[in-house]
Amino acid sequence: MNLNPLRNEISTGPLIGCKWLGHWTPYAEAIAENYENWWPWFSTLTVNLGAPPDFFTQFTEMQKDDVLIFGAHAVLNDFPFYFLQITHEQTGIPWVAPNIVPFAPVTAYAGTNVAGPAKFPEAFFYPKNTRLRLDWSSIDPSAPNLDPCTFTFIGVQLTGPKGGRAPEEVTMPDGSITRVGSRIPLFLTIGAGQRSVGTQIFTFGNNSQAVQYMPGLDCDVEIHDASLNFFFGYQSFITNLRLKYVAMGIESGWTPSFSPFMSFYGRPGADYPNLPFCKPWTLPAAHRQQINMINPNDAAPLNNGLLTLRGVRKCFY
Amino acid sequence: MYFFNKYIMRILDYYRNHLELIDTIAIGFTGVAGQRVAPVFTNEISEDVLYFGAQVNFSSADTLVRIKSISPQYDWMADDNAVPQDTPVNAIAGVFSQSLPVLPLVQPYFIKKQGRLQMNFTNSPTIALTGGLWTWRALRLTQPINGVGWDYSIGFA
């Protein structure tokens, strides 16, 4: 029998989950080994969005050394309403895949408040002398004037590159060679229910069913975990929401029957705000994912619910 | 949250593809305190499955469960008593509303295709539940490289 153990190696290591426990991915470790010194690094930004709709763009400071960003933390009260798109200005690659929802909830990026930081599915290699652009949005007309959000990137500053410059490629656990900068955190976001023409937010009507699709991408991506931006404390009837998940390209239903939302999606404030898949799954290029959802509640509809899958974009442009 | 030890990697090596599986089973409590309902089973899957973790959609510390595998025949709960003490569900499954809503098993459990897990539930004596859902998070193992896949007898070879 010709087994191929290396093929099954998990590219982000054997411990699955977004909780920040101090462990590194093999990609991050392989990059760091090309530098003399590794130092803790934090970059904190503050944003305060006003009455919706409101938008704000800010940039991280250019760094004099290369940095690996592992995850993020956010201090905020109004977490269901803060949405964020991050773009690496130098390459122009957005972290949230282009879609009718052009951002992800801040809680998909960051652990909140006392729950502590959350890590990205893969460390982001942040080259020196470049910037990250953060585009913040608040669009829900029912949102209040938002309290400020303090957002912190958590990473490692790498100094003294061996050979005088950053590595161009590293070896992954399966033996393959990966270009440094080709593994980028990826967010796929869609709304729960249907989009309202008037307000642009998603509304999931009571006693209704909706089907939504995640966008297909132009290269293979790893999907790691899933989250939503609201939870039962805000919407008591969320406990009754059900979903059935289908990977369209290979027509594989993941759920024999409808399953509770909370068995699939993590929620803000939990140990794992992005609930992991048992094993990261490779979504082939151009394949879409279907979410068939049911809201059997008789009570008021769910407004402004966003569902996010996180993963790793494996493209190199 | 999930840890892939060498035993699990050895099983995965026998398959080309591993797909997420989320299997929700209705328990069927009818609101009777201490009620022992008829056994419920996981759905039969047409491929081999590795079960990683579980969740319940209710919060009740004294609801009990006894789990056994039908094929292979294996009782998860070691107990030699004439009247066995069943296990609180919170020892095995996460609660949807808690910080860790899916509780990973100490060791993922392998079942060949068409195999099933049987679960015997006992309703809480203090908070009589109605309904109740149990959800397994698992991996469906497809395209076995040797045409058969892993088997119980192989072990950590």
Cross-strand pairs, A193: none
Share of chain A above pLDDT 70, in %: 93
Q: Give the best-scoring range by mean pLDDT among A86-95, A189-198, A214-223, A301-310.
A: A86-95
Average pLDDT over residues B90-99: 91
- Average pLDDT over chain A, rounded to an integer: 88
DSSP A25: P
Q: Cis ω on the peptide bond leading into residue B72 (within 30° of 0)?
A: yes
Mean predicted confidence (pLDDT) in A6-29? 85
Reference A270, options A77, A120, A116; nearest CA is: A116
Cβ under 8 Å to B: A residues 269-288 = 269-272, 275-279, 281
Q: Among all residues of chain A, which has the CA nearest to that of B98?
A: A270
pLDDT value, residue A284: 87
Q: What is the pTM of this model?
A: 0.90
A44 CB neighbour count, 10 Å cutoff: 12
Q: Is the pLDDT of residue B15 over 60?
A: yes
A231 pLDDT higher than 70: no
Query: How many Å apart are CA B147 and CA A153, to the nearest integer?
Result: 47
**Cβ pair A263:B45 closer than 8 A:** no
User: For the residues of A190-249, what is the DSSP string, one character each?
Assistant: EESSEE-TTT-SEEE-TTEEEEEEEPP-SS-EEEEEEEES--TTT-GGGGG-EEEEEETT
Tens digits of residue pLDDT in A82-112: 999 999 999 999 999 988 899 999 999 999 9
Q: Which CATH number fits domain B6-144: 3.30.70, 2.60.40, 2.120.10, 2.60.120?
A: 2.60.120
Give the pLDDT of residue B78: 84
Q: Inform me whether the pLDDT recorded for B157 exceeds 90.
A: no
Residue B149: pLDDT band (50, 70, 90) is very high
What structural domains does chain A harbor? 5-179 (2.60.120), 184-313 (2.60.120)
* Residue scoring higher pLDDT (A10 or B54): B54
User: Confidence class of residue A235 from pLDDT cuts 50, 70 and 90?
Assistant: low
The total of other beta-carbon atoms located within 10 Å of residue A174's CB is 15
Q: For all residues of chain B together, what is the average pLDDT?
A: 92
Interval B62-84 mean pLDDT = 87
Distance from chain centroid for Cα B84: 19
DSSP A31: H
Predicted local confidence at residue B20, as pLDDT: 92
Are residues A5 and B52, on separate chains, in Cβ contact within 8 Å? no
Distance between CA atoms of A117 and A272, rounded to whole angstroms? 10
Looking at residue A236, what is its pLDDT? Answer: 63
Distance from CA of B38 to the nearest CA of A (A): 20
* Beta-strand pair B64-69/B74-75: antiparallel
Predicted confidence at residue B93, as pLDDT, reads 95
Structure confidence at residue B26 (pLDDT): 96
pLDDT at A306: 92
Shortest CB distance from B145 goes to which of A1, A256, A263?
A1
Contacts of A29 (CB under 8 A, 6+ apart): none
Q: For residue A179, give the nearest of A162, A187, A167 by alpha carbon.
A: A167
* pLDDT at A233 > cutoff 60: no
Residues of A in contact with B14 (CB under 8 A): 3
